[in-house]
Amino acid sequence: MNILILSPKVPYPPIDGGAIATLSLAQNLKDVGNNVTLLALNTSKHKADISRIPKTIIDKLNMKVVDIDTSISFFSALRNLLFSRLPYNGERFFKSNFGEKIIDVIKSENIDIVQLEGLYMALYTGIIKKHFNIPVVLRAHNLEHVIWQRNCLFEKNLLKKWYYKILSKRILKLKKDIIQHIDAIVPITEHDCKTFKEFRASVPIHVACAGINKEFINEINVPANCSSVFFIGALDWIPNQEGLKWFLESVWPKVLKKHPYEKFHIGGRNAPQWLINIFKKPGIVYHGEVDSAIKFMKQNGIMVVPLFAGSGMRIKILEGMAAGITIISTTIGVEGINARPDRDIIIADDANIFAEKICYVLENKDICKTIGDNASEFIGKHYDNLEIAGSLMDFYKSILK
């Protein structure tokens, strides 16, 4: 089967959830017997140096990129707000030269099926359908409108709150419109699958969750330290910013009362200055972007995921669990991962309980290690990338009949 994957950014280096999810599935679709072409936008925000991508990856995925400018402009945002019905954060990804490249690639590679990585790539559905009679599949990494709805709930600035509400409504409308024109949906969680069905989507739906390569699990199969608490994630993402702010204001001071010499280690890129200022408090160590996420996880051993907004799956939780890390997360943070509470992962939504759970694992290293071991075993059994890709390939064959 010849599969074309359209990505809103170059998924290399694989340092965030979206890039990891796109790159790993593309590689595994190739590994289970398909010819894969990955066509990506090289955006101004996530500008990739193509010369640094290993040739083995470029060749394996027949990777092609198109440079575009997705910079946010006040005037273009205002024009969009007044004269468009599209969400501005989606409209910026629609460029005519990328549409032309899609047509060229489908012709030259004799493509059988197109896989869209996320809602904003679905804006190119009309161009594809105009020229070709081939299935177009939306791989939904998350429910974007839900993210903005949840951001809206926590936003105190009234102007931002109003704009987030408009964004969430426009994204929801776009999603409902798009599912009338595509041929199949591949959500990343059962929860998201249920939501698409509530939208009365009449097309076939197949859940293909994010996964982990078994080689990755075997490669990092060394004990975690269980020595200190840490957070790792993109710090330019609003849900991470708000969750960390809550954690540092409401949870960490309670931990320091019982363990005054503990350090909270924070790793992540693109933190705004206002957030960096919050990090300048006793007991907090800000590392910026770390060279190796797994090494950072292993050195510390107790990972917190204080998320109250977001959708889809947190890839960093999958990686952390695979690496034998003890993870304490909110319910929303672990959404889409069917881990057993207090056995494979610890869940806490209240500040007092969150602090108690952290203190408990700090004081009980054996339990910390047991939870980490259970987590690694759980990921190995239920989130094998090759099995996920093989099941997705069977689904694609069924819609090509």
Structural domain containing residue 185: 2-211+384-400
The string over 315-326, giving b where at least 16 C-beta atoms fall within 10 Å of a residue's C-beta and e elsewhere, is: bbbbbbbbbbbb
Check residue 216 and give its pLDDT.
Answer: 64
Same domain, 355 and 393: no
Instruction: List C-alpha distances in Å: 258 to 71, 99, 104, 254.
Output: 46, 58, 63, 7
Same domain, 60 and 104: yes
Check residue 177 and give its pLDDT.
Answer: 87
Q: What is the pTM of this model?
A: 0.85
Same domain, 175 and 226: no
Check residue 218 and give its pLDDT.
Answer: 59
- 313-335 residue pLDDT tens: 888 999 999 989 999 999 999 98
Same domain, 62 and 160: yes
Residues 48/12, Cβ–Cβ less than 8 Å: yes
Same domain, 70 and 189: yes
Same domain, 262 and 189: no
Same domain, 268 and 352: yes
Question: For the chain, which residues score pLDDT lower than 50?
Answer: none
Check residue 186 and give its pLDDT.
Answer: 95
Which tokens is 401 given? Answer: 């009949």
Alpha-carbon dihedral sign for residues 243, 244, 247, 249:
negative
Number of domains in the chain: 2
Same domain, 227 and 138: no
Q: What length does the chain have?
A: 401
Same domain, 233 and 356: yes
Check residue 192 and give its pLDDT.
Answer: 84
DSSP state of 256: H
Residues 224/326, Cβ–Cβ less than 8 Å: yes
Check residue 194 and give its pLDDT.
Answer: 86
Q: Give the C-alpha separation, 138 to 114, whole Å.
A: 9
Check residue 223 and give its pLDDT.
Answer: 62
CATH code, domain with 77: 3.40.50.2000
**184-187 sheet: strands from edge to edge:** 64-67, 35-42, 2-7, 113-117, 136-140, 184-187
Same domain, 48 and 118: yes
Same domain, 284 and 199: no
Same domain, 228 and 343: yes
